[in-house]
Amino acid sequence: MQRIKGIAVSHGIVVGRAFLVGTAEQVVPHRTIQESEVPQQLERLHVALRAAGAQIAELSERTRRELGTEPAKIFEFHAGLLRDKALLAAIERRIGGTFVTAEQAVADQFRQLVDQFRRMGNEVFEQKANDIIDLERRVLGQLMGEQTSRLAQLEEPAVIVAHELTPSQAAAMDRSKVTALATDLGGRTSHTSIVARALGLPAVVGCQHLAANVEEGDTLIVDGNAGMVIVRPDARTLEEYSRLQERSRRSRAALRELSGQEAVTKDGVRIQLMGNIEFPEEIESVLANGGDGVGLYRTEFLWLTRKEPPTEQDHYEAYLHALRLLKGKPLTIRTCDLGADKYTQAQMEEPERNPFLGLRSIRHSLATPHEFKAQLRAILRASAHGPVKTMFPLVSNLMELRQGKLMIADIGEELADEGIPFDAQMPVGVMIEVPAAALMSRVFASESAFFSIGTNDLVQYTLAVDRGNERVAHLYNAAHPAVVYLTKTILRSARAGGIDCSCCGEVAGEPVFCMLLLGLGLRTLSMVPDQIPVIKRVIRSVTMEQCERLARRVGSFDSERQIETTLRDELRKIDPDVFGQWVAE
């Protein structure tokens, strides 16, 4: 028996037989062509792109019909890429400029785009890179001949095990045959995760070496609650998980009832639950899960689908689309958070030695004023169409905030002179993500309209731990007393300054931390949309007095272990059936 830890992305527990799915890349033979063959290759390219587009439209419609609108949106990015004139022109130039076949040009250009996305160093953009690979395979399949998916050979119920699943594979699965999913790669926002949740299939991703340790037909337990896959379990473990399956079923049924109810504590305190999004299309999921708006709109993707920086109009159209989908609910836009080991490093002649401490986030924006101005103008223009807030990421000194606000004021004057409407009172705030800003938060509060605590970076910089480094990832812990102290400091400063403060890091969506955050004084939490119901469940089960009492107890502890154990014990008391998955050690 072997237990393999991963990331829980879709709740539930399943026992089943393993069915291995490979994702080997297509090998494209290199062949040069004569100049006279170029028109023929261009025609082959256009025929393949049209056929791939038709396939995507068909698959999208089937997914929408069988799984719903949200999973079908997976394919909007695919369809958009096929319509991207810049991408098509680049492929055509490869054919006509280097005299290679259409398939070689497609493979080369798509791989270049994949590398660009992966250099972003972010889970979301890594997933977009997988999207591009999926689309590449589809186009190459048209040019080189279709490959039969092994999933088509599935004849009886099974647990799908793969190194990774492409969006096409995930969406095309036969619901009557697939009982659970487990993959080496992937994260909470991967398409495998989205489809698994839509299908109601338990899923664990990010298992790293699972596929290499499983043989076809092995008995597996996929625990989508605890993020665990058990390979070849013994009889005692199978009996134990039979009981857990029933408990999990009751838990999921209870959470489904909450989406339409308000997030109000038992003593009547209303908490705002917002969604974190990467793309406007995710707003539908925010609203479906009972969210009150968008508390964090990450805008970096606008830089990644083109060679040139996005124009003001590109920004404006994206923000306007988001506001229309929100229908009057608030939208908080974070200005671009490029840098570190991401997109900007690929643009530099000399990449930075330590980019996480380099020209990133607000520093990068201020160093590229033309791009920053285009984004700020678009945000201001969009503010005329709905409630918009703007926040600057990774601010570490007051001058950065003042420079950003000065640019907004100057742009506002320009728009007024041009007769373009905008909200002259648009709130401008900062993300508190570094210890310097947390310790100086009382000063920042005097010049900010609001705070948003970005716990992901705050924990990382406070503890000097790269959570992506497996050697030290165990030291990354939001329950560290120093992190709790800084959070308390930020909230005190916000109260003293009379401004709102929210939390938009991963901690905001973790039930274990919910009571502590409320007890410290947070009244707005922003999270991944599908985490909203479970956080709402915690809120509706407690009083503010309970939360404040817990925060006082935790504030006296000097060990993250002690804090974590206490938080888990309190969550367990609410309802072991619902929260058992989050209190497991």
Give the residue extent of every domain in the chain. 2-23+149-234, 35-144, 272-551
Range 402-413 average pLDDT: 97
Q: Alpha helix locations (H) across 69-166?
A: 69-72, 74-82, 85-98, 102-118, 123-144
Please report how the helices 123-144 and 74-82 are oriented relative to each other, as an axis angle in degrees rounded to 10: 60
**Cβ pair 361, 404 in contact under 8 A:** no
Give the pLDDT band of residue 578 (cuts 50, 70, 90). low
% pLDDT > 90, the chain: 47
Strands (E), 157-201: 158-162, 178-183
**Cβ pair 300, 577 in contact under 8 A:** no
Give the pLDDT band of residue 24 (cuts 50, 70, 90). very low
**Cβ pair 319, 331 in contact under 8 A:** yes
Query: Given 78, 191, 315, 364, which residue is catalytic?
Result: 191
- 401-434: buried (b, 16+ CB within 10 Å) or exposed (e) per residue? bebbbebbeebbeebeeeeeebbeebbbbbbbbb
**Cβ pair 159, 18 in contact under 8 A:** yes
What is the pLDDT, as a whole number, of residue 558?
92
Strands (E), 450-571: 450-453, 500-503, 524-527
Distance CA 385, CA 81 (A): 28
Range 296-301 average pLDDT: 87
Q: Which fold has domain 2-23+149-234?
A: Glucose Oxidase; domain 1 (3.50.30)
Give the pLDDT band of residue 32 (cuts 50, 70, 90). confident
**Is 545 in a helix, a strand, or coil?**
helix
- Read off the pLDDT of residues 540-551 as tens digits, 9 standing for 90 and up: 999 999 999 999
Specify the DSSP element, H or E, that contains 20. Answer: strand 13-21
Give the pLDDT band of residue 25 (cuts 50, 70, 90). very low
Q: 209 or 199: whose pLDDT is higher?
A: 209
Record the pTM. Answer: 0.68
Range 403-425 average pLDDT: 97
Range 560-579 average pLDDT: 87
Range 209-220 average pLDDT: 86
Specify the DSSP element, H or E, that contains 390. Answer: strand 388-392
Distance CA 96, CA 570 (A): 66
Q: 152 or 449: whose pLDDT is higher?
A: 449
Q: 35 or 462: whose pLDDT is higher?
A: 462
Q: Alpha helix locations (H) across 201-358?
A: 235-256, 283-288, 312-326, 343-347
CATH superfamily of this structure's domain 272-551 = Phosphoenolpyruvate-binding domains (3.20.20.60)
Query: Given 207, 336, 501, 504, which residue is catalytic?
Result: 504
Range 183-197 average pLDDT: 72
Ranking 128-142, 163-177, 392-406 by mean pLDDT, the lowest is 163-177
Name the amino acid, one letter, at 333: I
**Furthest-apart CA atoms within the chain: distance in Å:** 80
Range 420-444 average pLDDT: 97
pLDDT at residue 35 greater than cutoff 50:
yes
Range 147-168 average pLDDT: 74
pLDDT at residue 384 greater than cutoff 80:
yes
Specify the DSSP element, H or E, that contains 428. Answer: strand 428-432
**Is 450 in a helix, a strand, or coil?**
strand
What is the pLDDT, as a whole number, of residue 190?
65
**Which of 62-66, 230-234, 255-259 tops mean pLDDT?**
230-234
**Cβ pair 203, 160 in contact under 8 A:** no
Decide if 504 is catalytic: yes
Say if domain 35-144 classifies as CATH 3.30.70.1140. Answer: no
Ranking 139-153, 222-236, 485-499, 528-542 by mean pLDDT, the lowest is 139-153
Residue with tokens 């489809």: 195
Q: 505 or 313: whose pLDDT is higher?
A: 313
Range 124-153 average pLDDT: 71
Q: 352 or 135: whose pLDDT is higher?
A: 135
521 closest CA partner among 442, 453, 430: 453
Decide if 336 is catalytic: no
What is the pLDDT, as a whole number, of residue 148?
46
Distance CA 170, CA 176 (A): 14
**DSSP structure class, residue 290:** T
**Cβ pair 320, 382 in contact under 8 A:** yes
